[in-house]
Amino acid sequence: MQERQDFTLYRRTADYKKAHAIEVSGNGDHTIVLGNGFGTDKSSWPELTPWLEARHRLVRFNWAVTPEHFDSVRYGSLDGYCDDLLAIVGGTTSKLCTLIGHSMSAMIGMLAAKRQPGFFRRIVMIAPAPCYVRHPDYAAGFSQENIDALLDQIGDDYMAWLMAFAPVAVGDPQQQDVIDDFRRSLSAMRPDIALTMARLIFSMDLREHLDGFITTTTIIQPTGDPVAPIAIGQYLAQRWPQARLEIIESAGHLPHLTAPRAVIEVLERALTEV
């Protein structure tokens, strides 16, 4: 396995291991790092975890979003999350790893790999989006008015918002267990922290940062994602010649929970190249 050339560890949050609840498991020489999306934690990979552990060394972690660890200044931009990801990778392996990043973690991974391309062999992005607001040349799922209303709802009544948002994000009313689990995960976040994160994520525009990203990438794009529609996956694949777009039949924004077998089929192809 190729050793990294740069072993720099980025600035860590206080009480680092506790803040990120880092867990290392599995078998194999190659390290897979799982990055969670907004409102979920390291437990949000129930079907993928045993499959990956049987084949690879697996690193799971939480973003530092609990009240005792959240720093509104540090996490007022994606740079703080990027620093954390590089510290997690640097602290858990000295070799090139693969990041499987859902939603926000996919974009954080892109920024981290631009900063330190020698840390990552491959990034698998699940339902990624560099921007959630529609523009004349960019067919996102939301208008600016939609985003403003969403943020107002989170600020006004977080619990009411998450009760309504969870089934939309899951996308399949038949998967009530997934909806209930996602609601529980969202409700575990303190409302002011959730609002700070939501403002950052739903208001970001990383399209100017897409150039210069050269890491081999697989994009897993659900067919029925209301948060990151197919047009976004196609847009990213067009911007990145090194990226392969894999469209899977799945409603909602959490295909690793609602369509895990389809995601594993993509991973079987992607990870055989490791």
Q: Where are the domains of the chain?
A: 16-130+207-271
143-175 pLDDT, tens digit per residue, is 999 999 999 999 999 999 999 999 999 999 999
The yes-or-no verdict on residue 8 having pLDDT over 70 is: no
Chain-centre distance for alpha carbon 229: 16
Catalytic residue among 105, 225, 250, 256: 225
Q: What's the pLDDT at 5? A: 45
Contact 188, 195 (CB under 8 A): no
CATH superfamily of 16-130+207-271: Alpha/Beta hydrolase fold, catalytic domain (3.40.50.1820)
Tell me, yes or no, if 30 is annotated catalytic.
Answer: no
Q: What's the pLDDT at 3? A: 47
Which among 163, 178, 198, 166 has a CA at the least distance from the CA of 256? 178
Tell me, yes or no, if 102 is annotated catalytic.
Answer: no
Catalytic residue among 20, 30, 102, 253: 253
Q: What's the pLDDT at 7? A: 41
38-94 pLDDT, tens digit per residue, is 999 999 999 999 999 999 999 999 999 999 999 999 999 999 999 999 999 998 999
34 φψ region: left (φ > 0), alpha (ψ -120 to 50), beta (else): beta
The yes-or-no verdict on residue 122 having pLDDT over 70 is: yes
What's the whole-model pTM score?
0.94
Q: Is 217 exposed, middle or buried (0-12, 13-18, 19+ CB in 10 A)?
A: buried
Tell me, yes or no, if 225 is annotated catalytic.
Answer: yes
C-alpha 259/C-alpha 193 separation (Å) is 29
The yes-or-no verdict on residue 10 having pLDDT over 60 is: no
Catalytic residue among 103, 105, 185, 250: 103
